[in-house]
Amino acid sequence: MKKIYILDTNVLLHDPESLFAFEDNDIVLPVSVIEELDNQKTRSDEIGRHAREVSRQLDALRSLGPLSAGVNLPQGGTIRIELNCRNTFENFCDIDLNTNDNRILAMAYYLQQHAREPVILVTKDLNLRIKADVLGIKAEDFYSDKVDYHRLYSGVAELTVTDSELESFYRHGFLEFRQNGLLAHQFCILKTAANPSQSALARFCQGKLQKLSLNGPVYGLKALNKEQKFALELLLDDTVKIVTLVGKAGTGKTILALAAGLEKVFEESAGYNRLLITRPIVPLGNDLGYLPGDKEEKIRPWMQPIYDNLEFLCNEHIQANGCVDYLFNTGKIELEVLTYIRGRSIPRQFIICDESQNLSPHAVKTILTRVGRGSKIVFTGDPEQIDHPYLDASSNGLSYLVDRIKGEEISGHVTLIKGERSGIAELGARLL
Protein backbone atom coordinates (compact mmCIF):
# COMPACT_ATOMS: atom_id res chain seq x y z
CA MET A 1 0.00 0.00 0.00
CA LYS A 2 1.16 3.49 -0.81
CA LYS A 3 2.29 5.43 2.25
CA ILE A 4 2.90 9.03 3.29
CA TYR A 5 6.31 9.67 4.81
CA ILE A 6 6.88 12.86 6.79
CA LEU A 7 10.61 13.60 6.96
CA ASP A 8 12.27 15.34 9.89
CA THR A 9 15.10 17.80 9.26
CA ASN A 10 17.74 15.50 10.78
CA VAL A 11 17.02 12.85 8.14
CA LEU A 12 17.77 15.32 5.34
CA LEU A 13 20.88 16.60 7.12
CA HIS A 14 22.06 13.01 7.61
CA ASP A 15 21.58 12.06 3.95
CA PRO A 16 20.53 14.61 1.30
CA GLU A 17 19.60 11.75 -1.03
CA SER A 18 16.92 10.58 1.43
CA LEU A 19 14.42 12.61 -0.64
CA PHE A 20 14.68 9.88 -3.27
CA ALA A 21 14.88 6.83 -0.97
CA PHE A 22 11.17 6.09 -0.51
CA GLU A 23 10.35 4.50 -3.87
CA ASP A 24 6.83 5.32 -5.14
CA ASN A 25 5.48 6.63 -1.83
CA ASP A 26 4.53 10.23 -1.07
CA ILE A 27 6.89 12.50 0.89
CA VAL A 28 5.66 15.45 2.93
CA LEU A 29 7.98 18.12 4.28
CA PRO A 30 6.49 20.48 6.90
CA VAL A 31 7.47 24.08 6.19
CA SER A 32 9.23 24.17 9.56
CA VAL A 33 11.74 21.69 8.08
CA ILE A 34 12.58 24.24 5.38
CA GLU A 35 13.07 26.85 8.10
CA GLU A 36 15.49 24.56 9.95
CA LEU A 37 17.40 23.89 6.73
CA ASP A 38 17.70 27.63 6.21
CA ASN A 39 19.14 28.02 9.72
CA GLN A 40 21.82 25.38 9.02
CA LYS A 41 22.86 26.36 5.48
CA THR A 42 25.58 28.83 6.53
CA ARG A 43 27.56 26.26 8.49
CA SER A 44 30.91 25.30 6.98
CA ASP A 45 30.81 21.67 8.08
CA GLU A 46 29.10 18.57 6.68
CA ILE A 47 25.71 19.57 8.10
CA GLY A 48 25.84 22.92 6.31
CA ARG A 49 26.79 21.26 3.03
CA HIS A 50 23.92 18.81 3.35
CA ALA A 51 21.46 21.62 4.11
CA ARG A 52 22.56 23.48 0.96
CA GLU A 53 22.38 20.29 -1.11
CA VAL A 54 18.79 19.58 0.00
CA SER A 55 17.82 23.19 -0.76
CA ARG A 56 19.29 22.89 -4.26
CA GLN A 57 17.40 19.65 -4.89
CA LEU A 58 14.12 21.17 -3.73
CA ASP A 59 14.72 24.22 -5.90
CA ALA A 60 15.26 21.96 -8.91
CA LEU A 61 12.02 20.09 -8.16
CA ARG A 62 10.22 23.42 -7.94
CA SER A 63 10.65 23.81 -11.69
CA LEU A 64 8.31 20.82 -12.16
CA GLY A 65 5.41 22.57 -10.45
CA PRO A 66 4.33 24.13 -7.17
CA LEU A 67 5.77 22.20 -4.23
CA SER A 68 2.73 23.11 -2.13
CA ALA A 69 0.56 21.02 -4.49
CA GLY A 70 3.14 18.26 -4.92
CA VAL A 71 5.45 17.26 -7.77
CA ASN A 72 6.39 13.87 -9.15
CA LEU A 73 9.72 12.27 -8.21
CA PRO A 74 11.82 10.22 -10.66
CA GLN A 75 11.08 6.92 -8.87
CA GLY A 76 7.30 7.41 -9.10
CA GLY A 77 6.34 9.00 -5.79
CA THR A 78 5.55 12.62 -5.04
CA ILE A 79 6.89 15.30 -2.73
CA ARG A 80 5.12 18.32 -1.32
CA ILE A 81 5.73 20.98 1.29
CA GLU A 82 2.89 21.34 3.77
CA LEU A 83 2.08 24.60 5.52
CA ASN A 84 1.44 23.74 9.15
CA CYS A 85 -0.72 26.75 9.99
CA ARG A 86 -0.98 27.39 13.73
CA ASN A 87 -4.80 27.69 13.61
CA THR A 88 -5.07 24.11 12.34
CA PHE A 89 -3.43 22.74 15.50
CA GLU A 90 -4.95 25.00 18.13
CA ASN A 91 -4.83 23.34 21.57
CA PHE A 92 -3.09 20.30 20.09
CA CYS A 93 -2.85 17.95 23.09
CA ASP A 94 -1.58 20.87 25.22
CA ILE A 95 1.79 20.67 23.43
CA ASP A 96 3.81 23.84 22.91
CA LEU A 97 3.78 24.56 19.17
CA ASN A 98 6.58 27.12 19.40
CA THR A 99 9.17 24.37 18.77
CA ASN A 100 9.81 22.96 15.31
CA ASP A 101 9.73 19.36 16.53
CA ASN A 102 6.24 19.78 17.98
CA ARG A 103 4.99 21.46 14.82
CA ILE A 104 6.28 18.50 12.80
CA LEU A 105 4.52 16.19 15.25
CA ALA A 106 1.30 18.17 14.93
CA MET A 107 1.50 17.96 11.14
CA ALA A 108 1.91 14.18 11.31
CA TYR A 109 -1.09 13.95 13.67
CA TYR A 110 -3.22 16.12 11.38
CA LEU A 111 -2.38 14.12 8.26
CA GLN A 112 -3.05 10.87 10.06
CA GLN A 113 -6.57 12.08 10.85
CA HIS A 114 -7.35 13.21 7.28
CA ALA A 115 -5.29 11.06 4.87
CA ARG A 116 -6.40 7.75 3.39
CA GLU A 117 -2.89 6.27 3.28
CA PRO A 118 -0.84 5.22 6.33
CA VAL A 119 1.23 8.11 7.70
CA ILE A 120 4.77 7.47 8.98
CA LEU A 121 7.04 10.02 10.63
CA VAL A 122 10.71 9.41 9.77
CA THR A 123 13.16 10.95 12.23
CA LYS A 124 16.50 10.19 13.81
CA ASP A 125 15.41 11.98 16.99
CA LEU A 126 14.70 9.35 19.68
CA ASN A 127 12.56 11.65 21.80
CA LEU A 128 10.43 12.71 18.84
CA ARG A 129 9.78 9.04 18.05
CA ILE A 130 8.75 8.50 21.68
CA LYS A 131 6.33 11.45 21.60
CA ALA A 132 4.91 10.21 18.30
CA ASP A 133 4.29 6.81 19.84
CA VAL A 134 2.40 8.41 22.74
CA LEU A 135 0.13 10.18 20.23
CA GLY A 136 -0.47 7.01 18.23
CA ILE A 137 1.65 8.16 15.27
CA LYS A 138 3.83 5.55 13.62
CA ALA A 139 7.45 6.71 13.69
CA GLU A 140 10.60 5.12 12.29
CA ASP A 141 14.29 5.76 12.01
CA PHE A 142 15.82 6.22 8.55
CA TYR A 143 16.84 2.68 7.63
CA SER A 144 18.13 2.81 4.05
CA ASP A 145 21.77 3.10 5.17
CA LYS A 146 21.60 0.94 8.29
CA VAL A 147 23.38 -2.39 8.67
CA ASP A 148 23.14 -5.10 11.32
CA TYR A 149 26.17 -4.19 13.41
CA HIS A 150 25.99 -7.35 15.53
CA ARG A 151 26.36 -9.41 12.33
CA LEU A 152 28.93 -7.14 10.71
CA TYR A 153 31.48 -8.90 8.53
CA SER A 154 34.58 -9.63 10.63
CA GLY A 155 36.97 -10.53 7.81
CA VAL A 156 38.02 -13.73 9.62
CA ALA A 157 36.64 -17.29 9.39
CA GLU A 158 37.58 -20.62 10.95
CA LEU A 159 37.87 -23.62 8.63
CA THR A 160 38.22 -27.32 9.33
CA VAL A 161 40.55 -29.11 6.90
CA THR A 162 41.99 -32.61 6.70
CA ASP A 163 45.46 -33.51 7.97
CA SER A 164 46.70 -33.95 4.41
CA GLU A 165 45.34 -30.55 3.35
CA LEU A 166 47.03 -28.82 6.29
CA GLU A 167 50.29 -30.62 5.51
CA SER A 168 50.03 -29.56 1.86
CA PHE A 169 49.42 -25.97 2.97
CA TYR A 170 52.57 -25.97 5.09
CA ARG A 171 54.63 -27.60 2.33
CA HIS A 172 53.54 -25.48 -0.66
CA GLY A 173 52.48 -22.26 1.04
CA PHE A 174 49.00 -22.37 -0.44
CA LEU A 175 45.96 -24.62 -0.72
CA GLU A 176 43.47 -24.75 -3.59
CA PHE A 177 40.11 -24.02 -2.00
CA ARG A 178 36.99 -23.36 -4.05
CA GLN A 179 34.45 -23.59 -1.24
CA ASN A 180 31.61 -21.12 -1.59
CA GLY A 181 31.15 -18.51 1.09
CA LEU A 182 34.68 -17.15 1.40
CA LEU A 183 35.22 -13.58 0.20
CA ALA A 184 38.24 -11.97 -1.40
CA HIS A 185 41.01 -11.25 1.13
CA GLN A 186 39.12 -12.99 3.92
CA PHE A 187 41.45 -14.48 6.52
CA CYS A 188 41.08 -18.06 7.70
CA ILE A 189 42.23 -20.04 10.71
CA LEU A 190 42.82 -23.58 9.47
CA LYS A 191 42.28 -26.42 11.93
CA THR A 192 41.96 -30.19 11.74
CA ALA A 193 39.20 -32.21 13.40
CA ALA A 194 41.70 -34.72 14.79
CA ASN A 195 43.96 -32.12 16.40
CA PRO A 196 42.20 -28.74 16.88
CA SER A 197 45.22 -27.29 18.68
CA GLN A 198 47.20 -27.48 15.45
CA SER A 199 46.35 -24.52 13.23
CA ALA A 200 47.58 -22.28 10.44
CA LEU A 201 46.76 -18.74 9.32
CA ALA A 202 45.84 -18.07 5.70
CA ARG A 203 44.32 -15.47 3.40
CA PHE A 204 41.79 -16.38 0.70
CA CYS A 205 42.84 -14.82 -2.57
CA GLN A 206 42.16 -15.80 -6.20
CA GLY A 207 40.59 -19.10 -5.23
CA LYS A 208 43.48 -20.14 -2.98
CA LEU A 209 44.26 -20.15 0.70
CA GLN A 210 47.68 -18.50 0.83
CA LYS A 211 50.21 -18.21 3.64
CA LEU A 212 50.69 -14.80 5.19
CA SER A 213 53.65 -12.90 3.75
CA LEU A 214 54.39 -10.73 6.81
CA ASN A 215 57.87 -11.22 8.22
CA GLY A 216 59.34 -9.17 11.04
CA PRO A 217 58.34 -5.82 12.52
CA VAL A 218 56.80 -2.97 10.54
CA TYR A 219 58.48 0.37 11.30
CA GLY A 220 59.55 -1.08 14.65
CA LEU A 221 56.08 -2.42 15.46
CA LYS A 222 55.39 -6.15 15.93
CA ALA A 223 51.99 -7.77 15.63
CA LEU A 224 50.92 -9.06 19.05
CA ASN A 225 48.01 -11.29 18.00
CA LYS A 226 46.61 -12.95 14.91
CA GLU A 227 44.14 -10.14 14.10
CA GLN A 228 47.00 -7.63 14.11
CA LYS A 229 48.91 -9.93 11.74
CA PHE A 230 45.88 -9.98 9.45
CA ALA A 231 45.60 -6.19 9.59
CA LEU A 232 49.26 -5.65 8.69
CA GLU A 233 48.93 -8.15 5.86
CA LEU A 234 46.24 -5.96 4.28
CA LEU A 235 47.95 -2.68 5.11
CA LEU A 236 51.20 -3.70 3.41
CA ASP A 237 49.55 -5.20 0.30
CA ASP A 238 49.54 -2.53 -2.42
CA THR A 239 46.87 -4.40 -4.41
CA VAL A 240 44.37 -3.86 -1.58
CA LYS A 241 43.43 -0.22 -2.06
CA ILE A 242 40.73 0.09 0.64
CA VAL A 243 41.29 -1.30 4.14
CA THR A 244 38.82 -1.06 7.03
CA LEU A 245 39.87 -1.80 10.60
CA VAL A 246 37.23 -2.05 13.33
CA GLY A 247 37.90 -2.72 16.99
CA LYS A 248 37.38 -1.48 20.51
CA ALA A 249 39.74 0.95 22.22
CA GLY A 250 43.33 -0.26 22.54
CA THR A 251 43.24 -2.97 19.88
CA GLY A 252 45.86 -1.14 17.79
CA LYS A 253 43.83 0.12 14.83
CA THR A 254 45.46 3.53 14.52
CA ILE A 255 49.03 2.59 15.35
CA LEU A 256 49.00 -0.34 12.92
CA ALA A 257 47.78 1.92 10.13
CA LEU A 258 50.40 4.56 10.97
CA ALA A 259 53.22 2.01 11.12
CA ALA A 260 52.25 0.62 7.71
CA GLY A 261 51.93 4.12 6.26
CA LEU A 262 55.35 5.17 7.55
CA GLU A 263 56.89 1.94 6.27
CA LYS A 264 55.44 2.49 2.80
CA VAL A 265 56.28 6.18 2.53
CA PHE A 266 59.68 6.31 4.24
CA GLU A 267 61.20 2.83 3.92
CA GLU A 268 59.83 1.36 0.69
CA SER A 269 59.75 2.71 -2.83
CA ALA A 270 56.08 1.78 -3.12
CA GLY A 271 55.15 4.91 -5.04
CA TYR A 272 53.41 6.81 -2.24
CA ASN A 273 54.56 10.43 -2.14
CA ARG A 274 53.01 11.36 1.17
CA LEU A 275 51.22 10.02 4.25
CA LEU A 276 47.91 11.89 4.66
CA ILE A 277 46.19 11.52 8.04
CA THR A 278 42.71 12.88 8.64
CA ARG A 279 39.99 12.65 11.29
CA PRO A 280 36.50 14.12 11.68
CA ILE A 281 36.14 17.03 14.08
CA VAL A 282 33.51 15.75 16.50
CA PRO A 283 34.12 16.75 20.15
CA LEU A 284 33.61 14.46 23.15
CA GLY A 285 31.67 16.52 25.68
CA ASN A 286 31.58 20.32 25.50
CA ASP A 287 33.42 21.89 22.57
CA LEU A 288 36.40 24.14 23.31
CA GLY A 289 35.18 26.75 20.85
CA TYR A 290 37.56 29.02 18.96
CA LEU A 291 41.21 27.98 18.98
CA PRO A 292 43.97 30.55 18.24
CA GLY A 293 46.85 30.13 15.83
CA ASP A 294 47.34 28.95 12.24
CA LYS A 295 45.77 25.82 10.79
CA GLU A 296 48.36 23.46 12.26
CA GLU A 297 47.94 24.98 15.72
CA LYS A 298 44.14 24.87 15.49
CA ILE A 299 43.97 21.18 14.57
CA ARG A 300 46.71 20.09 17.00
CA PRO A 301 44.25 19.25 19.86
CA TRP A 302 42.19 17.10 17.49
CA MET A 303 45.27 15.37 16.10
CA GLN A 304 47.00 14.79 19.44
CA PRO A 305 46.30 11.01 19.37
CA ILE A 306 48.12 10.88 16.04
CA TYR A 307 51.12 12.72 17.51
CA ASP A 308 51.15 10.30 20.47
CA ASN A 309 51.28 7.27 18.18
CA LEU A 310 53.88 8.82 15.89
CA GLU A 311 56.07 9.60 18.89
CA PHE A 312 55.82 5.98 20.05
CA LEU A 313 56.79 4.72 16.58
CA CYS A 314 59.73 7.14 16.43
CA ASN A 315 61.00 5.80 19.73
CA GLU A 316 60.66 2.23 18.48
CA HIS A 317 62.12 2.66 15.00
CA ILE A 318 64.41 5.70 14.91
CA GLN A 319 65.89 6.15 18.37
CA ALA A 320 64.90 6.38 22.00
CA ASN A 321 63.34 9.78 22.70
CA GLY A 322 63.25 10.32 18.95
CA CYS A 323 61.67 13.63 18.03
CA VAL A 324 58.47 13.29 15.99
CA ASP A 325 59.38 16.58 14.29
CA TYR A 326 61.89 14.57 12.25
CA LEU A 327 58.99 13.00 10.38
CA PHE A 328 57.18 16.27 9.74
CA ASN A 329 60.33 18.07 8.63
CA THR A 330 60.60 15.70 5.68
CA GLY A 331 57.37 17.15 4.28
CA LYS A 332 56.04 13.63 3.68
CA ILE A 333 53.35 13.72 6.38
CA GLU A 334 50.24 15.87 6.13
CA LEU A 335 47.56 16.21 8.79
CA GLU A 336 44.19 17.38 7.52
CA VAL A 337 40.70 17.74 8.95
CA LEU A 338 37.84 16.45 6.86
CA THR A 339 36.37 19.94 6.64
CA TYR A 340 38.94 20.80 3.96
CA ILE A 341 38.97 17.57 1.97
CA ARG A 342 35.98 18.24 -0.29
CA GLY A 343 37.01 19.11 -3.84
CA ARG A 344 40.50 17.65 -3.51
CA SER A 345 42.02 14.96 -5.69
CA ILE A 346 44.57 12.88 -3.79
CA PRO A 347 46.86 10.77 -6.03
CA ARG A 348 49.77 8.56 -4.92
CA GLN A 349 49.24 8.96 -1.19
CA PHE A 350 48.78 6.59 1.74
CA ILE A 351 45.61 7.96 3.37
CA ILE A 352 44.47 7.16 6.91
CA CYS A 353 41.00 8.24 8.04
CA ASP A 354 40.97 7.76 11.80
CA GLU A 355 37.86 7.73 14.04
CA SER A 356 35.72 7.17 10.96
CA GLN A 357 32.84 5.82 13.04
CA ASN A 358 31.89 9.50 13.45
CA LEU A 359 31.31 9.85 9.70
CA SER A 360 27.98 9.47 7.95
CA PRO A 361 27.73 7.12 4.95
CA HIS A 362 27.50 10.18 2.72
CA ALA A 363 30.75 11.56 4.18
CA VAL A 364 32.53 8.25 3.60
CA LYS A 365 31.39 8.32 -0.01
CA THR A 366 32.74 11.87 -0.33
CA ILE A 367 36.14 10.80 1.01
CA LEU A 368 36.38 7.73 -1.22
CA THR A 369 35.65 9.80 -4.30
CA ARG A 370 38.63 12.05 -3.43
CA VAL A 371 41.12 9.16 -3.75
CA GLY A 372 43.23 9.46 -6.88
CA ARG A 373 45.36 7.06 -8.88
CA GLY A 374 48.01 5.14 -6.99
CA SER A 375 46.56 5.96 -3.56
CA LYS A 376 45.56 3.60 -0.76
CA ILE A 377 43.04 4.52 1.94
CA VAL A 378 42.59 3.04 5.41
CA PHE A 379 39.51 3.62 7.59
CA THR A 380 39.82 2.90 11.31
CA GLY A 381 37.30 3.23 14.11
CA ASP A 382 35.13 1.74 16.83
CA PRO A 383 31.38 1.84 16.06
CA GLU A 384 30.67 1.50 19.76
CA GLN A 385 32.39 4.83 20.52
CA ILE A 386 30.38 7.34 18.53
CA ASP A 387 30.26 11.02 19.44
CA HIS A 388 28.07 12.13 16.51
CA PRO A 389 24.54 12.97 17.74
CA TYR A 390 22.68 11.30 14.85
CA LEU A 391 24.79 8.17 14.26
CA ASP A 392 24.87 4.81 15.97
CA ALA A 393 26.70 1.50 15.56
CA SER A 394 24.41 0.48 12.68
CA SER A 395 24.10 3.75 10.76
CA ASN A 396 27.63 5.19 10.86
CA GLY A 397 29.73 5.38 7.72
CA LEU A 398 32.36 2.87 8.84
CA SER A 399 29.87 0.04 9.46
CA TYR A 400 28.09 0.94 6.21
CA LEU A 401 31.36 0.83 4.26
CA VAL A 402 32.41 -2.54 5.74
CA ASP A 403 29.06 -4.06 4.79
CA ARG A 404 28.96 -2.62 1.26
CA ILE A 405 32.51 -3.35 0.02
CA LYS A 406 33.11 -6.78 1.57
CA GLY A 407 34.35 -9.24 -1.01
CA GLU A 408 35.58 -6.62 -3.49
CA GLU A 409 38.95 -7.52 -5.00
CA ILE A 410 40.57 -4.22 -3.99
CA SER A 411 39.22 -4.12 -0.43
CA GLY A 412 39.87 -5.95 2.82
CA HIS A 413 38.58 -5.84 6.38
CA VAL A 414 39.63 -7.08 9.81
CA THR A 415 37.84 -6.74 13.14
CA LEU A 416 40.44 -6.50 15.91
CA ILE A 417 39.36 -8.14 19.15
CA LYS A 418 42.09 -8.23 21.77
CA GLY A 419 43.19 -5.03 23.48
CA GLU A 420 46.98 -4.56 23.56
CA ARG A 421 47.37 -0.97 24.81
CA SER A 422 47.63 -1.87 28.49
CA GLY A 423 45.96 -3.98 31.12
CA ILE A 424 44.06 -0.92 32.33
CA ALA A 425 42.76 -0.04 28.86
CA GLU A 426 41.71 -3.65 28.21
CA LEU A 427 39.90 -3.79 31.54
CA GLY A 428 38.07 -0.54 30.84
CA ALA A 429 37.03 -1.54 27.30
CA ARG A 430 35.86 -4.97 28.46
CA LEU A 431 34.02 -4.16 31.69
CA LEU A 432 32.84 -0.56 31.41
Q: pLDDT category, 284, cuts 50, 70, 90?
A: very low
Q: Is residue 116 part of a domain?
A: yes
Average pLDDT over residues 377-383: 96
What CATH number does residue 70 fall under? Answer: 3.40.50.1010
Query: How much of the chain exceeds pLDDT 70, in percent?
Result: 90
Q: Is residue 254 part of a domain?
A: yes
Q: What is the mean pLDDT of the chain?
A: 86
The domain boundary, picked from 123, 140, 157, lies at: 140
Taking the C-alpha atoms of residue 125 and residue 218, their distance in angstroms, rounded to an integer, is: 44
Taking the C-alpha atoms of residue 431 and residue 88, their distance in angstroms, rounded to an integer, is: 52
What is the per-residue pLDDT for 423? 78
Higher pLDDT, 351 or 328: 351
Spatial contact of 79 and 19, defined as CB atoms under 8 Å apart: yes
What is the per-residue pLDDT for 287? 46
The domain boundary, picked from 98, 115, 140, lies at: 140
Q: At what angle do helices 253-262 and 295-317 cross, to 10 degrees?
A: 80
Average pLDDT over residues 191-216: 89
The total number of structural domains in the chain stands at 2
What is the per-residue pLDDT for 288? 46
What CATH number does residue 381 fall under? Answer: 3.40.50.300
What is the per-residue pLDDT for 281? 74
Lowest mean per-residue pLDDT among 175-179, 187-191, 229-233, 371-375? 175-179
Domain range holding 291? 220-431
- The yes-or-no verdict on residue 106 having pLDDT over 90 is no
pTM across the whole model: 0.79
- The yes-or-no verdict on residue 125 having pLDDT over 60 is yes
Give start and end residues of each alpha helix (H) in 115-216.
126-134, 163-172
- The yes-or-no verdict on residue 20 having pLDDT over 80 is yes
Lowest mean per-residue pLDDT among 58-72, 175-189, 404-418? 175-189
Q: Is residue 166 part of a domain?
A: no
CA pseudo-torsion sign 360, 365, 368, 369: negative
Note whether 239 and 351 are same-domain residues. yes
Give the pLDDT confidence of 293-302 residue by residue, as tens digits. 555 666 666 7
The domain boundary, picked from 90, 105, 140, lies at: 140
What is the per-residue pLDDT for 414? 97
Mapped onto helix, strand or coil, the DSSP state of residue 226 is helix
